[in-house]
Amino acid sequence: MQADFIIIGSGSAGSAMANRLSEDPANSVIVIEYGGSDVGPFIQMPAALSYPMNMGIYDWGYRTEPEPHLGGRVLAAPRGKVIGGSSSINGMVYVRGHAEDFDTWQEQGADGWSFADVLPYFQKMETSHGGQNGWRGHSGPLHVKRGTRDNPLFQAFIEAGAQAGFELTEDYNGEKQEGFGPMEQTIYRGKRWSAANAYLKPALKRPNLRLVKGLARRIVIENGQATGVEIQRNGKPEIVKANREVIVAASAFNSPKLLMLSGIGPAGHLKEHGIEVAADRPGVGQNLQDHLELYVQQECTQPITLYSKMNLISKGLIGAEWLFFKSGIGATNHFEAAAFLRSRPGVRYPDIQYHFLPVAIRYDGTAPVEAHGFQAHVGPMRSKSRGNVRLRSADPDAAPVIRFNYMSDPSDWEDFRHCIRLTRDIFSQSAFDGFRGREIAPGEDAQSDDELDAFITEHAESAYHPCGTCRMGRADDPMSVVDPRCRVIGVDGLRVADSSVFPMITNGNLNAPSIMVGEKASDHILERQPLPRSNLQPWINPNWELSDR
C-alpha cells in the first residue's frame, strides 16, 4: 500500500485534509483510522450526544492520572475512535475562538496564523445559517446553524444577562464575541454534521482517496525522512508507504504518543522506554491545555424542562420522530444559548464561557435530582495550568499517561469562584423570577471561598478540549514541535495538523479551530499561496479597562 500523502486520523483536521488534498486527481491519499463506522442513531442523532463518548466502540476510553489539585480524582478524557474522530462524539457546539487568540498564536511564534490569516479559512469551511454577513462563509462543506430556542428558559438566560448589565451579541462567531446570545451547532438537516459527513464521505467517492482501517504503531523514518507508517491491520503489521508526506492528525493525546513511539520527543523519556531517538524535541507532549467547567444547577418551578422527556416512553417517541423525520427535540444538542464574558476590568476580551441547558443533568446523561431544573456550564477560558502527555511504555497498544495538572495555578481557584458567584448573579435576575426554584448545585449552603473550593475540587469536569501537545512555533524554539507550516522540526516529510499544534487554547469549543487547522495546513502541504488576509476588525468592548460588562 502506498500513496503520496498518508493522513493518520479521520477526525476534525484529518477529514478536512483528506478532502482538500484529494481535490487534485494527481494526488493519491490514504487515511488511516483505527475506529469503525459512524453509522447509527447514537452518533447521528444530535440529542443522543451523551452516549457515544461513553461507549468503548466509539471512544478511546482514556483517563487522566489522579489529579493532585482535584483531590486525586481520575477524570475521563474521551477522544473519538470512529470515522470522524472526536467530531463524531462531541457536543456539536461551534465556536471559532476570539480574534485575539489567533493574534496570540502569532506572538508565540506561529507566524502567519494571526486572526487576519485564519479568518479566510473559517469563511472557506463554513456554510453559515443565520450568521453575520461579511464575517461568515456561505459555500463551505461545514453547515453551522442555531437552535430554535423554543424553550422560554433560553430567552430568560439571555435577558438575565442583559439585566445584569452585560452585552448581547447576535453572532459570537462574527464581529463581536462578547455577550449573551444564540449558540451555534454543527447540525444539518437534523443530523450531526461531523467532519466525516462534511468532508470525508463526499471525498471518498474519489478514486484517489482511500480509507484504511488499522492502528498506526509508528512512523517509519529513514535518514531523517518520514517514508511511511507501520500499522497493525487484521492482527499483522504492515507498512503503508508515503511517496511525499506523512501527516499526523490523531488528537492531542495520540499525536504526541505516535511521535514519541517513532523516536521524536524528549530524548531522556524515549531512552527510558528503549526507543531510538530520531529527533530530540523536548516539547513533544508538553503544553497540554484544556477547559475545566462546573455545572451551576437550579430547580425550575415550571414543568417545562427536558426532565419530563427522560422516561423511556418519551425517549422512544423522540427517537421515532428523529428516525423518520429528522425533526423534533432529537434534532438538537439542546445547547441553544451561550455567553462569552470578561471576568474583571482590565481583561481585554472574554475569558469565561457559558453553555446554557434547559435541564439539570451531567454530561454522561445522569441527573443529580429527580426534578425539573436548568443549568449553566461555566468555566474560565485561559487557565495558566499546563500538563503533559507521556508514554506508558513502548507498546503502541498502551494508553498514554495523561496529566493535566488542573487547578495547579492559584489564579484558577479565584477564577472559578468568580464564575460561580457570577452565575448566581445572572440566575437571580428578574428574567428568571417565574422559573427559579432552589439552587441544586453548588447549593445555597456553599458561600465562603473554602466551601466553593470544596465544591470545585469535587465537581469540576473537563469540557473535553485538550490541545497544545505538539506546539507550533518558531523553528529555533526548542519547545516548538512543528514550524508555522505544520512541519515537524528535525524530520523531513512529516507534519502534525490537529488541535495538538495550538500554541494556546482558544476561547470556546475546539472543533471549529481544529477543522480550520486542517484547511490551512492543506494549503501549506500543497505549497499553495495562503488565502489573502482579512482586514476585518473584531469588536473590543470600549469599557474593557474600566468594567467587566
So which residues are the catalytic ones? 465
Prior bond of 442 cis (ω within 30°) = yes
Alpha carbon 365 to its chain centroid, in Å, reads 19
First to last CA, the chain: 58
Report whether 29 belongs to an annotated binding site: yes
Report whether 88 belongs to an annotated binding site: no
Question: Around Cβ 50, how many Cβ atoms within 10 Å?
Answer: 16
Report whether 12 belongs to an annotated binding site: yes
Report whether 21 belongs to an annotated binding site: yes
Helix axis angle for 410-427 and 152-163, nearest 10°, is 110
Report whether 53 belongs to an annotated binding site: no
Contacts of 19-25 spanning 24+ positions with Cβ under 8 A: 19/141, 19/199, 19/200, 19/202, 19/203, 20/518, 20/519, 20/522, 20/523, 20/526, 21/522, 21/525, 21/526, 22/203, 22/206, 22/208, 22/209, 23/203, 24/526, 25/206, 25/207, 25/208
| CA neighbor of 367 nearest in space, from 311, 425, 411, 318 | 311
Question: Around Cβ 284, how many Cβ atoms within 10 Å?
Answer: 30
Report whether 85 belongs to an annotated binding site: no
Report whether 27 belongs to an annotated binding site: yes
Report whether 488 belongs to an annotated binding site: no
Report whether 369 belongs to an annotated binding site: no
Report whether 130 belongs to an annotated binding site: no
Report whether 24 belongs to an annotated binding site: yes
Amino acid at 267: A
Report whether 92 belongs to an annotated binding site: yes
Report whether 91 belongs to an annotated binding site: yes
Taking a C-beta distance cutoff of 8 angstroms, is the pair 495, 525 a contact? yes
E strand spans, 315-442 = 337-341, 352-357, 373-380, 388-390, 401-403, 436-441
Report whether 43 belongs to an annotated binding site: no
Report whether 336 belongs to an annotated binding site: no
Q: Write phi, then psi, for 294 (nearest 5 degrees).
A: -120, 155
Separation CA 291–CA 516 (nearest Å):
19
Report whether 19 belongs to an annotated binding site: yes
Report whether 536 belongs to an annotated binding site: no
C-alpha cell of residue 472? 507550533
Helix axis angle for 115-125 and 99-107, nearest 10°, is 130
Separation CA 522–CA 518 (nearest Å):
6
Report whether 26 belongs to an annotated binding site: yes
Kindly give the residue spans of alpha helices, DSSP state H, lying in 305-380.
312-325
Report whether 221 belongs to an annotated binding site: no
Separation CA 269–CA 526 (nearest Å):
34
Report whether 32 belongs to an annotated binding site: yes
Taking a C-beta distance cutoff of 8 angstroms, is the pair 290, 463 a contact? yes
Report whether 90 belongs to an annotated binding site: yes
Report whether 455 belongs to an annotated binding site: no
Count of alpha carbons within 13 angstroms of residue 157, beta-carbon side: 30
Kindly give the residue spans of alpha helices, DSSP state H, lying in 32-176.
41-44, 99-107, 115-125, 152-163
Beta bridge partners of 32: 8, 212
Report whether 280 belongs to an annotated binding site: no
At residue 196, the 3 state secondary structure works out as: helix
Report whether 25 belongs to an annotated binding site: yes
Question: Around Cβ 384, how many Cβ atoms within 10 Å?
Answer: 12
Report whether 18 belongs to an annotated binding site: yes
C-alpha cell of residue 204? 471518498
Report whether 252 belongs to an annotated binding site: no
Task: Say if residue 118 is exposed, middle or buried (CB neighbours under 10 Å; 0-12, 13-18, 19+).
Answer: buried
Which residue ranges make up the annotated binding site?
4-33, 82, 90-93
Which residue ranges make up the annotated binding site for FAD?
4-33, 82, 90-93
